[in-house]
């Protein structure tokens, strides 16, 4: 009797320990909307490692890349006139490594969250002080820094996954968002 009790005790102990290890060792599945990052100047970290740049970075954006997967996005999943986090999962964040200007307003060096209000002919891009949030659940318009209206353009390229990059301009750069056949460009000026 003692022997069977002892065996039962060790079986329960072994099962509990192995179960605890399985829980701690859980590796999350690959996200359907992987996180990505873009810099201005483009590929800044690679250029820095290769000692091919003397320019300091101006901006970096971190965002998750949802896919179309046959869905109607603009005017469908992204409802006209509603706030959107400009990506999937965590709210999209942009960091400026120095002062820049958006729509004539000076934006101090720092990290910000990007939101958009999507409409058929223009998007209102919103820079907000709240960071490290999921979706648009913590959005507080009192923390908005700037609203910038940008026209909707037709992209020459089709993008299955949301793509956000920086493009050089005569006054600094444009934050370019392309998804499906739509493109918007937010001008960012700096010295």
Judged against a pLDDT cut of 70, whether residue 108 lies above it is answered with yes
71-80, 82-91, 121-130: segment of lowest average pLDDT: 71-80
Distance from C-alpha of 78 to C-alpha of 183, rounded to nearest angstrom:
15
- Give the pLDDT score at 6: 47
Q: In this structure, what token pair is assigned to residue 58?
A: 């101006």
CA atoms within 13 A on the CB side of 119: 10
Q: Is residue 41 part of a domain?
A: yes
Q: Is residue 56 part of a domain?
A: yes
Question: How much is the mean pLDDT over the chain?
Answer: 88
pTM score, whole prediction? 0.81
**Can you tell me the mean pLDDT for 133-137?**
87
In this prediction, what percent of the chain has a pLDDT beyond 70?
87
Kindly state the DSSP code that residue 76 receives in the 8-state scheme.
T
Q: Is residue 15 part of a domain?
A: no
Q: What is the count of structural domains for the chain?
A: 1
Q: Is residue 49 part of a domain?
A: yes
18 vs 55, higher pLDDT: 55
The kind and range of the H/E element at 188 are: strand 172-189
- Give the pLDDT score at 138: 84
* Residue 108 contacts residue 59 (beta carbons within 8 Å): no
Classify 128 as helix, strand or coil: strand
- Give the pLDDT score at 46: 85
Domain limits for position 149: 35-189
């Amino acid at each position: 009797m003692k022997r069977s009790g002892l065996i039962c005790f060790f079986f329960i102990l072994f099962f509990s320990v192995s179960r605890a290890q399985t829980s701690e060792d859980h590796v999350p599945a690959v996200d359907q909307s992987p996180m990505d990052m873009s810099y201005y100047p483009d590929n800044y970290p690679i250029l820095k490692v290769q000692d091919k740049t003397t320019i300091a970075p101006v901006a970096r954006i971190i965002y998750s890349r949802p896919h179309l997967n046959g869905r109607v996005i603009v005017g469908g999943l992204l409802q006209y006139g509603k706030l959107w986090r400009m990506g999937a999962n965590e709210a999209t964040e942009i960091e400026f490594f120095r002062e820049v200007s958006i729509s004539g307003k000076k934006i101090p060096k720092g990290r910000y969250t990007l939101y958009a209000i999507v409409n058929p002919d223009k998007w209102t891009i919103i820079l907000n002080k709240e960071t490290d949030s999921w979706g648009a659940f913590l959005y507080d318009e009192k923390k908005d820094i700037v609203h910038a209206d940008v026209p909707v353009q037709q992209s020459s390229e089709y993008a299955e996954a949301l793509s956000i990059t920086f493009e050089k301009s005569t006054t600094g750069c444009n934050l370019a968002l392309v998804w499906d056949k739509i493109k918007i460009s937010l001008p960012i000026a700096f010295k």
